[in-house]
C-alpha cells in the first residue's frame, strides 16, 4: 500500500491550494449574509480546471482519477472558505457531470461537457419532490412521450443551483405502475418552455449556494434529451448518488483540517488564568478529537476513491464515508466554536458559518438515517 503522492499529484494539489487561497476568499461573509452566489469565482474555478477534474480530456476535462480528484477537492476545501460555492460545484459535478459522463450519448457529451467543465455552464439535478424525499423513487413527476418530445409535469424542491442552472438532470416517471423501472432522466435546459424556476429558497447554511423550487407544466423536452435509457433513471441516479456520497464531502475534510489549524493557533494564543487555553486538558482534548476525526475521515475518503479508481463497487464504502464525514464535520465545528468561546459564536471569526454549512451534510445525498439503512442492508441486516 502506497500512501505517497506522486510528484505530479503534489504539484497539482499545490496549484489548487495556491489558486483557491488567492482567488476565492473575497466577500465570503457578505455573500453568506445576503445569500449571494459568486458567479465570478465559479468561472475562475472552471478556468482553473476544478469542474472538469473527472471529465475525460476529449470533452474538455482533465481526465483525473478519482483519488486525485478527491484530493484536489479536499485541498480546495482547505484553501477556500466559501463552503456554499464548493457545495454548488459538488452538486454540479456529481449530479450533472457524472450522469453525462456515464450515460450521455456522444452528442450529449459533446454538447454539454466542455461548457460544464470550463465554468460557462452550470448544472444540477431535480429529484426531490414535496412528497418524495428519502423515498426518492416514489416520485410523482410524469413524462409522457408525444411524437419526438417528452412532456413533463410535476414539481421539484431543493434544487441546488436551480436559480442559476443552465442544465438540469430531471427525474420523472414514464409509467408510475412500473415503480423504479419507470423512472427516466432528462436533460432540461434553462428557459425550456413549461419549466418554471420559481421561489429561491432561503436556508440555514451553504447560503452562497443558490437553491430553488422548479415546476414543470407541459414542459417540452426533445427526445434526444433523454439521458440514458427510458426507465434507466433509477440506475443512473443510484450510480451518481454513489459517486456523490463518496466524494461530496472531500472539501469538508479540507475544511476540517483548516478548523483544526485555526483551533490550534487560537488555543496557543488565547490566554486565560495566566496560561494558553491549549494547556487546559479539556481544551486540548477537543483538539485531539478534531485531529482524530480529520485523519479517520481522510482515510475513508481516500480509500473509497482508491477503490472506485480500481473499478471496485463502493456502494457500502461511499455510504460509510458520507455518514462518517458529515457526523465528524458537524462535531468539529461545534468543538471549534466551543474552543473559541464567545468569539467563535461571532460571524467575523468565521467559525460559526462552518457549523451552519456543515449541518446540511447530514441531509443531502441521502440523510444520515438513509446511509445507516444502506450500511445495515449491506451487512445483511
Partner 1 sequence: MKILVPFKSVPDPNDATVVGAAASTPKSVINPFDEIAIEEALRIRERGEAAEIVGITIGAPTVDEQIRAALAMGIDRAIRIDDSRALDPYAVARILRVLIEKEAPHVVIMGKQAVDDDSNQVGQMLAGLLRWPQATFVSKIEFLGNKTRARCTRETDAGLEVIEIKLPAIITTDLRLNEPRYVSLPGLMKARRKSIEVLTCDQLGVTVRPLTTVLSTARPPKRAAGTRVESVEELVTKLRQDAKVL
Ligand X SMILES: Cc1cc2nc3c(=O)[nH]c(=O)nc-3n(C[C@H](O)[C@H](O)[C@H](O)COP(=O)(O)OP(=O)(O)OC[C@H]3O[C@@H](n4cnc5c(N)ncnc54)[C@H](O)[C@@H]3O)c2cc1C
Catalytic residues: 244
Q: Which residue has the cell 447560503?
A: 207
List the interface residues with ligand X, window 254-283 (CB under 6 A).
none
**Residue placing its CB nearer to partner 1 in the complex, 23 or 276:** 23
Report which of 67, 110, 70 is spatially closest to residue 93, judged by C-alpha positions: 70
Query: How many CB atoms sit inside 10 A of residue 43's CB?
Result: 15
- 3-class secondary structure, 316: helix
CB 185 within 8 A of CB 169: yes
Nearest approach, Cβ of residue 332 and ligand X (Å)? 18
Cα 96-67-313 angle, rounded to 5 deg: 70
Partner that binds at residue 126, options ligand X, partner 1, none, CB closer than 5 to 8 Å by kind: ligand X
Q: Is 296 in the site for ligand X (CB under 6 A)?
A: no
Q: Is 369 in the site for ligand X (CB under 6 A)?
A: yes
Partner that binds at residue 42, options ligand X, partner 1, none, CB closer than 5 to 8 Å by kind: none
**Residue placing its CB nearer to partner 1 in the complex, 97 or 236:** 97
Query: How many CB atoms sit inside 10 A of residue 105's CB?
Result: 14
**Residue placing its CB nearer to ligand X in the complex, 81 or 340:** 81
**Residue placing its CB nearer to partner 1 in the complex, 47 or 175:** 47
Nearest approach, Cβ of residue 22 and partner 1 (Å)? 7
Q: Is 363 in the site for ligand X (CB under 6 A)?
A: yes
Q: How far apart are CA 287 and CA 303, in angstroms?
A: 24
Given the rule CB under 6 A, which of 56-64, 291-299, 309-317, 368-376 is the region that contacts ligand X?
A: 368-376
Phi (first) and psi of residue 137, to 5 degrees? -75, 0
CA distances from 140 to 62, 155, 171, 374 (A): 37, 8, 10, 24
Report the residue count for the chain.
381
Q: How far apart are CA 240 and CA 198, in angstroms?
A: 25
Q: Is 170 in the site for ligand X (CB under 6 A)?
A: no
Query: How many CB atoms sit inside 10 A of residue 307's CB?
Result: 18
Given the rule CB under 6 A, which of 176-184, 287-295, 334-342, 361-369 is the region that contacts ligand X?
A: 361-369
Q: Is 127 in the site for ligand X (CB under 6 A)?
A: yes
Contacts to partner 1 by CB under 8 A: 8, 11-12, 15-16, 18-19, 22-23, 47-50, 52-53, 62, 72
Interface residues with ligand X (CB under 6 A) are 91, 124-128, 133-134, 158-160, 206, 360, 363-364, 366-367, 369-370, 373
Amino acid at each position: 500500500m502506497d500512501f505517497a503522492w506522486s510528484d505530479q499529484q503534489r504539484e497539482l494539489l499545490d496549484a489548487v491550494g495556491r489558486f483557491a487561497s488567492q482567488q476565492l476568499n473575497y466577500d465570503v461573509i457578505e455573500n453568506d449574509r445576503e445569500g449571494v452566489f459568486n458567479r465570478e469565482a465559479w468561472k475562475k474555478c472552471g478556468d482553473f480546471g476544478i469542474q472538469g477534474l473527472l471529465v475525460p480530456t476529449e470533452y474538455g476535462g482533465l481526465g483525473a482519477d478519482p483519488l486525485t480528484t478527491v484530493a484536489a477537492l479536499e485541498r480546495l476545501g482547505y484553501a477556500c472558505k466559501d463552503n456554499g460555492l464548493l457545495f454548488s460545484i459538488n452538486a454540479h459535478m456529481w449530479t450533472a457531470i457524472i450522469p453525462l459522463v456515464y450515460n450521455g450519448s456522444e452528442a450529449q457529451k459533446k454538447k454539454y461537457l466542455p461548457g460544464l467543465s470550463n465554468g460557462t455552464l452550470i448544472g444540477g439535478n431535480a429529484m426531490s419532490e414535496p412528497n418524495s424525499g428519502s423515498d426518492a423513487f416514489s416520485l410523482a413527476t410524469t413524462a409522457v412521450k408525444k411524437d419526438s418530445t417528452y412532456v413533463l409535469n410535476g414539481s421539484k424542491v431543493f434544487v441546488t443551483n436551480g436559480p442559476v442552472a443552465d442544465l438540469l438532470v430531471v427525474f420523472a416517471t414514464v409509467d408510475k405502475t412500473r415503480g423504479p423501472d419507470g423512472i427516466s432522466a432528462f436533460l432540461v435546459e434553462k428557459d425550456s418552455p413549461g419549466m418554471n424556476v420559481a421561489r429561491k429558497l432561503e436556508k440555514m447554511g451553504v447560503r452562497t449556494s443558490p437553491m430553488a423550487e422548479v415546476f414543470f407544466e407541459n414542459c417540452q423536452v426533445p427526445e434526444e434529451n433523454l439521458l440514458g435509457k427510458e426507465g434507466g433513471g433509477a440506475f443512473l441516479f443510484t450510480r451518481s448518488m454513489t459517486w456523490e456520497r463518496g466524494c461530496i464531502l472531500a472539501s469538508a475534510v479540507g475544511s476540517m483540517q483548516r478548523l483544526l489549524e485555526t483551533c490550534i493557533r487560537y488555543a496557543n494564543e488565547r490566554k486565560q488564568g495566566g496560561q494558553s487555553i491549549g494547556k487546559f486538558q479539556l481544551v486540548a482534548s477537543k483538539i485531539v478529537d478534531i485531529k482524530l476525526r480529520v485523519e479517520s475521515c481522510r482515510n475513508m475518503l481516500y480509500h473509497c476513491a482508491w477503490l472506485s479508481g480500481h473499478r471496485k463497487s463502493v456502494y457500502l464504502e461511499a455510504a460509510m464515508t458520507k455518514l462518517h464525514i458529515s457526523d465528524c464535520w458537524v462535531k468539529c465545528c461545534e468543538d471549534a466554536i466551543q474552543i473559541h468561546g464567545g468569539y467563535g459564536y461571532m460571524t467575523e471569526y468565521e467559525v460559526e458559518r462552518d457549523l451552519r454549512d456543515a449541518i446540511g451534510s447530514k441531509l443531502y445525498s441521502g440523510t444520515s438515517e438513509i446511509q445507516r439503512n444502506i450500511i445495515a442492508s449491506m451487512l445483511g441486516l
